[in-house]
Amino acid sequence: MWTSTQAQNGLLGCGVVLDWSTHGIGHELTAFFGLVHAETLAIVLPSLWKYEIDNKGKKLSQMAERVWGIKEGDTKQKAAAAIMQTAAFFNSIDMPTTLKHYGITQKDTEKIVNRFAERGVPIGENRDIDAKAVEKILKMCL
């Protein structure tokens, strides 16, 4: 509960740019398919990081070193390793990282892509995740 409180009270985000795009996509998975929020985060986060690896590579590389103890490789290699380790961790605690696990197909995800297209407001800290990006990210989640 303490960790959750810290994550949600905004203090950790003071002075830094925040990216809530995983949550935004996840909320739509909940709305359309009834998945709980933790399930949606475990599905979307690794794929979103892969999609954004060029923008998030330095932070993911830092995560690789500090969280997973990965010291070998260049920034992009360590970033990719951090993504793989995070997905492996999710799977190790029985949190599947694919839409397929929940019976959700690419055709099903069109509802979510259409919702983002209707809104027309890109998400992410760089405001670079629009409906087309969401479509690509969800394909990676399959």
Map tokens 């399959």 to a residue: 142
SS (H, E, C) 11-47: HHHCCCCCCCHHHHHHHHHHHHHCCCHHHHHHHHHHH
Q: Work out the pLDDT band at 6, boundaries 50, 70, 90.
A: confident
pLDDT at residue 1, rounded to an integer: 83
pLDDT at 9 over 90: no
Q: What is the pLDDT of residues 120-133, one digit of tens each?
A: 999 999 999 999 99
The pTM of this model reads 0.91
